[in-house]
Amino acid sequence: MSVQQRARLRHQSEISGLPLEGGTLQWLVDRDLGALHVMAYRLTLDPGSAISHVHRAEEVLYVLEGSGEARVEGVTHRVGPGQAIFIPEGAEHTCVNTSAQLLTLVGAMAPPIDLDEIHPAMPRPDLSELTSASVSESGVAPRMMDEREVTPTLMGERSFRVLVSPDVGSRQMTQFTGVIPTGRAPLHAHPHEEAVYILAGTGRLWIEDEPVGDLR
C-alpha cells in the first residue's frame, strides 16, 4: 500500500460524536483511519462540566474556544484559546469548563490506546506497567504553553510555533501551529505520522505530487 493510499481526510461534520457526561467527543484520527502511532480527537465540554481520567499515553491539548481549567497532578492551570497543555503518560488530569460558553479542545495521544484503557482518575488504576517511570520519578512534568509567547520559526513565507516537543519532556509527539500563505507549500517527507487539524482557512492536501482532497 502506497503512502498516497494511506493518506486520509476527515471533516468533523462527518464524524459522529460520542456523548459524554457533560460533553461530546469526536475521534478525528484513529486506527480505523489507518493511524498506527497517534490518535487525535475534538472534545467539547458544556458549561460547568468536567472530565477527569488517567491513561498509559502522552497527551497534548490545544484550546480552540472557551475558557476553563486544566488540572494535572493537583496543579491547576487557567486555559483559553491558543494555549496548549502537555500531559505525561500516567498523570491524572481533569479539564473543567468554568465559563458560561462551550469549551472546545483538540488533542492527540500517543501511542494509541483503546477506550477501555482510559480510566477515571479516582480511584487511580495500577500503572506499574508504564514503559517509563512515574511523573515524579522521571522528572517529566506537565507543562502549559501559550502560542502568543512562542517565537515563530520561519521557513520561507511559512511560519510555525512549536508548542510541545522533547524540550518540554514529550517522548512521543511534537505539537505546533502553523501559517501557510496563499500558494502551494513545498513537498516534504518525514519518518513519522502526522495528524493535522485545520484551525482556519481552506486549502488542498498533496501527497506524492498528487492531490488527495480539499482542506476546510
Name residues whose C-beta falls within 8 Å of residue 73's C-beta, 6 or more positions apart in sequence.
91, 92, 93, 135, 141, 142
Residue 138 has a pLDDT of 42
Please state, in angstroms and rounded to a whole number, the distance separating the CA atoms of residues 174 and 199.
17
Whether residue 2 is predicted with pLDDT greater than 70 in this model: the reply is no
Q: What is the mean pLDDT of the chain?
A: 84
Q: Which tens digit of pLDDT belongs to each residue from 6-38?
A: 677 888 888 999 998 899 999 999 888 888 899
With a cut of 50, say whether residue 4 has pLDDT above it. Answer: no
Tell me how far apart the alpha carbons of residues 87 and 141 are, in angstroms, rounded to a whole number. 8
> Looking at residue 140, what is its pLDDT?
59
Domains of the chain in sequence order = 3-215 (2.60.120.10)
- What is the rounded CA–CA span in Å between residue 189 and residue 178? 17
Distances (CA, A) of 105 to 5, 26, 100, 172, 181: 29, 11, 16, 20, 25
Per-residue pLDDT, 124 = 44
Q: Report whether pLDDT(128) > 70.
A: no
Mean pLDDT of 166-172: 91
More confidently predicted of 117 and 89: 89
In this prediction the pTM is 0.85
pLDDT score for 207:
80
The answer to whether residue 90 scores a pLDDT higher than 70 is yes
Q: Which of 174, 132, 181, 177 is nearest to 152 (CA)?
A: 177
**Nine cell digits for residue 88:** 505525561
pLDDT reported for residue 154:
93
CA angle 38/87/200 to nearest 5° reads: 60
